[in-house]
Chain A
């Protein structure tokens, strides 16, 4: 039952993490011996995760940065300027 998470923890997940948890929810639900209460919990959580994945993809924008060496030798990345 370790898949169940608090819903406010959802937004801290990366896409890959959310997708993996969605897979786990499906696997958990495939076990036919759960009681209805737990089955429903996995179902609800799975659907929330799936929606979250969809939303993330909708909003995703490719971030592009450029590496440079500062005067004192540090590495830093800054948004790319393609002019």
Chain B
């Protein structure tokens, strides 16, 4: 070490002392990695991006410098005068200015706002990386055959979730990857449980769950390591942490957020009641549809039967019979009709005949003259000789006469 090389009580140069102080500070166990709690004052950020401030409490103060690259890496909140913080880093001596400084690596806000600030910081950072993007979120399977759960085995949340799953969808199988859900070791445990389920590979959906609690108790679900494990899970993740109003980083990264573990279990599976109703509905419909078919078949059958009836020999016979009856009746009517006609004609003829009858002529005074010898009708004088006997037919008999002259 430098000071060994000096003679005791020799005069030191300023540079030498400065260098000495620097070495002293930088090699000190405590001072080279230290966390200091205090209040920020005189904070000033230059165009270079470097930030200079004083960290103080009631009795003392320390100059601090927060370089640009360190600030960016730390994602520290914006520093304001009056802020209560824990600044961590290493001490050294800035020789040029003769100043002892805390070279700040990280600043954490303290007090009530501390956790909220950390929350905002991480949220902003992961959001910028796109981990919360809607496009990243995968659809949940409609009816998973295996459901994975990451939670504590002792928690009431697990019993609640199992009860919901048993009631809603007992057909599924549950695989639990147990984990701590609070405390400093919880984040790593949660991440490991998620990776384990992914490695096992059978779950179609994973529920990450924890019952309600204070913000500190739920804090593990705001840790980056858990968020990253959810993000890299190949299996869709439902986050069900705390109560309705609790929002954790895990909720933002997950494929779906549920307000509670029970809500997460509800979201993970369908309700068999719906399936049962649908099944009954289908049974009813099958019944209606087949009725339709049977009805139509019956109608077709009856129509065919009727057709058959029409074509059958017996019915043909009956038909012919009926025709026959009809014809014979027609015949009879015709005959009678004709007979009547004949009668009429006959009567007519008879009357005509009668009108032309020689008897009528004779009655009118004319007579029929015949030669008595051969009964030949005499119509001319040449047919008789004097002395011939003649028979003259009159209405009421004959007159015998002899020809005297012709």
Q: Which positions in A face B, CB cutoff 8 Å?
A: 14-16, 19, 22-23, 25-26, 29-30, 32, 34, 36, 39-40, 42-43, 46-47, 50, 53-54, 56-57, 60-67, 69, 75, 77, 80, 82
Contacts and interface: CB of A to CB of B under 8 A. Distances in A.
Interface in B169-186: 170-178
Contact of A64 (B162, B199, B286, B294): B162
Contacts of B159: 82
B172 A62 contact: yes
Query: Which of B166, B172, B199, B293 counts the most chain A CB atoms within 10 A?
Result: B293
Interface stretch (B229-237, B275-283, B320-328, B340-348): B275-283
B201 to A, nearest CB: 9
By secondary structure, the A interface counts as: helix
Nearest to A64: B174
B143 A57 contact: no
A62 B276 contact: no
B207 interface: no
A60 to B, nearest CB: 4
B375 to A, nearest CB: 101
Contacts of A82: 153, 158-159
A32 B170 CA distance: 37
Contacts of B173: 62-65
A30 B153 contact: no
B285 A67 contact: no
Interface residues of B, number: 37
A67 B174 contact: no
A66 B196 contact: no
Given A22-B282, A54-B276, A62-B172, 18 more contacts: A14-B171, A26-B285, A26-B286, A29-B289, A39-B293, A43-B286, A50-B283, A54-B279, A56-B171, A62-B170, A62-B174, A63-B174, A64-B174, A66-B176, A67-B197, A67-B200, A69-B196, A77-B200
Contacts of B297: 36
B145 interface: yes
Contacts of B249: none
B158 to A, nearest CB: 8
B200 A23 contact: no
Query: Which of A25, A30, A63 counts the most chain B CB atoms within 10 A?
Result: A63
B191 interface: no
Nearest to A67: B177
A56 B197 CA distance: 27
B286 to A, nearest CB: 5
A47 B287 CA distance: 9
B165 interface: yes
Nearest to A82: B153
Query: Which of B173, B276, B282 counts the most chain A CB atoms within 10 A?
Result: B282
A61 B170 CA distance: 5
Nearest to B196: A67
B290 interface: yes
Nearest to B145: A14
Contacts of B172: 62-63
B272 interface: yes
